[in-house]
Amino acid sequence: MSRIAWPFILVALFTLALAALGYGLAIKGYGIGMTGVERLDAIAAPAMFMPLAALYAFSAALVALLPLRAASFTHASASVPLYSATLILLATIVGVVLARVILVDRDTIRQVLDWHLLFALAVIGVHLLTNQLRKNLLIRSLAVIALLAASGACLFWSFRL
């Protein structure tokens, strides 16, 4: 669990510091402050989770489907980087929202409740349960079907929105 918590906390704190610096510069009248905050907002868009969830679901389906050596290569080369990107993006969103709540407006906490964030939580949950997929053939088969369906649905929704 510490492999999840510490990077998340560290990135959220760094993002909080950067956003606070941007808001502080904007309050003092420097235009570069709002430019930095707008860039952090562009990076921390919750809609970015849908394509990441689609790619992660496809790579997790490959991990469940492929033989052990190929599955370990796919896990190390695709699943873990996508999981890490999702975790860092979620921490960035939390840092920006915390800075906005502390410095600008207390009503922005509603942005944390965006439905796109469920995709990030799904990626984190599936990543934690990926090892269980290889133990039983029935679970593996059902997981492959569910993950491929989730990948297709995420790709369909990401291009439709």
Predicted pLDDT at 111: 60
* Domain locations in the chain as residue ranges: 2-160
Q: Residue 29 — φ and ψ, nearest 5°?
A: 105, 5
Predicted pLDDT at 1: 61
Predicted pLDDT at 81: 92
Instruction: Report, as ranges of residue numbers, the positions in the chain whose pLDDT lies below 70.
Output: 1-2, 110-112, 160-161
Cα–Cα dist 101/95, whole Å: 10
The answer to pTM > 0.85 is no
Nearest to 56 by CA among 137, 127, 145: 127
Q: What is the SS3 assignment for 114?
A: coil
